[in-house]
Structure 1
């Protein structure tokens, strides 16, 4: 029962409060600059970290597709 009640209380948290959560240090550094160059750098880093796994997985699927297509042509 304790787990269920804790889970129910966790769902009560509103969505806007979840979208603004950051560590205090990051938020202080990003809000203190006037030119937002650090914020742009962090956003670019997030994009970089997000895109690389998709490229790697896409490359693996491409080579698997290519090898299966080649094997299918050999059998015909």
Structure 2
């Protein structure tokens, strides 16, 4: 999956505050996510985060920009 810092993820289950959307702060073997409802930050293993993911809502996609690396050949 192509998840980048700054993307917004919609999860299958709600956070206790009622929000389903999380902002991606860090990507690697673990994801650092911030709840868009209450601001809580959590670290999730990549496998668990990808399983709980419903859809990716990317700021770059909303703006109609290309997310690929402009320096790649």
TM-score by length of 2: 0.20
- From the two aligned structures, give the one with the greater strand fraction: 2
- From the two aligned structures, give the one with the greater helix fraction: 1
More relative contact order, 1 or 2 (CA 8 Å, 6+ apart):
2
Larger Rg: 1 or 2? Answer: 1
TM-score by length of 1: 0.20
